[in-house]
Chains A and B, each alone.
Chain A
Amino acid sequence: MPINNVSMRGSLMAAAASLALIFAVPHAMAAPGDGASWQPNSSEKLVKLPASYLKKAVDQDYKRSPLAAEMADTESRIRLKLQTLGDLRDAAGRADGELKLELRHQLLAEKQAYLKLMARHHDLRRRRAQTRIQLYEGLLRKLGRDGAGMTPQRIALAEKQESARKRFDASVGKVDMVLFRSSVTSESRYGRDYAKNVAAIESLVHAINRHPMNAKAEIDGKPVSKQDYLRQLAAENEAELATVQQEEGILGYMAKLIGLDALALSEAVTGTDPNDKPEAGDTASVASAVEFFVSR
């Protein structure tokens, strides 16, 4: 009698587990409402950062966000859950009888919890990738707006200024020689200060150009523009989104397998077996009684 009670309880629990598993994964995926958020701002400061440093700045901002903390917590819980699953599987392999059934049930419950954690992890990854894509697209739009400010007239003006500057640079030596060789005209204070400052500016610009943090962003070892680099970062996160979507399919298959395991466990608990004797209703066939009627 106690065994029957245990079997009944186990059967009910296994059935409940199998039912719960069917709904568990989609439910966990559709319930992201919590404090785990990351709201980076595509500010002007970020737009002006060197391309090579931009990603680092975004990553650092992410690391300080509640979303990153939640992601790290979920990942550590997943690692622990995997250890638990391994231990339970080993223990169930070694156990017999009622204990084995109990351990199998626990293993199913832990698998269910693992799936929930994985669904949560996928949800966080999706949010991170979507936020990054939005951020990079925002930065691209801002860069585009800066470029859009250059109307044809303004471009023409800039070209004229550039050609005037080139003409001036080409003739400045001659002008200085002609104008300042006479004692009448001497170099002005502006000229002297400008020359002094130019030397200082040149050394600073040289140092900036050589600075490792100012190195141009590279894709496959080739230097690229900031726009191209941002597009590459956005594409990488699109790939992350696609991977998450594919892995959700894997989770779905895992959930189905656990459901089937739960059904198998339920049958094992209730004792249904192909070699068992036929149930009462099977012997009540009319055909089996025919011989009683045809013989005298």
Chain B
Amino acid sequence: MIISRILAAATIVAGLSATVPGVQAGSLENLERERALLVETLISGDLSDRERQKKVTLSRARLIDLERMVLRDKSLAMKNTPAVRAAFDNYDLTFLVHASVEKNRMLADHWLQEIGVSTQSLMNTRMGRR
């Protein structure tokens, strides 16, 4: 009785897994997802410094591998999509970890610099009503 129930359940599970379409993210999509999480961590106002540091360290470790996977992915040459073109248009923003180390910058500083926000520009800002 128990065995037949187990078998029935296994059949249902097998049937369901067969009907679910295969979703496979590419190397670039994985990198973009991780990078988005890192940027979210960097700019989040809900995290303490310690929590932010912990999350950034974990995210950076993952990004090292993901960035290298994208750089070594030869199949991307055949994917002439806007996402792939945009990724390789700006090395410094796409490959955040490698570019920041290369330029001897902290990860957050590097990202802010690349999007055009510097300490000087922040100091020059004024609060006002638009």
Contact = CB atoms under 8 A, between A and B. Distances in A.
A binds B: yes
Given A153-B80, A157-B88, A164-B71, A188 B98 contact: no
| A interface majority secondary structure | helix
B42 interface: no
B91 A164 contact: yes
Interface in A159-180: 160-161, 164-165, 167-168, 171-172, 174-175, 178-179
A275 interface: no
Considering the complex of A and B, which 7 residue pairs feature the smallest CB-CB distances, nearest first? A160-B88, A171-B102, A190-B65, A175-B101, A168-B71, A154-B80, A178-B101
Contacts of A194: 68, 72
| B interface majority secondary structure | helix
A185 B88 contact: no
Interface residues of B, number: 22
Contacts of A179: 60, 64, 97, 101
A191 B88 contact: no
A192 to B, nearest CB: 11
Interface string B93-111: 0010110011000000000
Contacts of B88: 157, 160-161, 164
- Tier of interface size on chain A: 20 to 34
A176 to B, nearest CB: 9
Given A164-B95, A167-B91, A168-B98, A157 B65 contact: no
A165 B71 contact: yes
27 contacts: A153-B80, A157-B77, A157-B80, A157-B88, A160-B89, A164-B88, A164-B91, A165-B71, A167-B91, A167-B102, A168-B68, A171-B102, A174-B101, A174-B102, A175-B64, A175-B101, A178-B101, A179-B64, A184-B57, A185-B57, A185-B60, A185-B61, A185-B64, A188-B61, A188-B65, A190-B65, A194-B72
Nearest to A198: B72
A161 B52 CA distance: 32
Contacts of A153: 80, 85
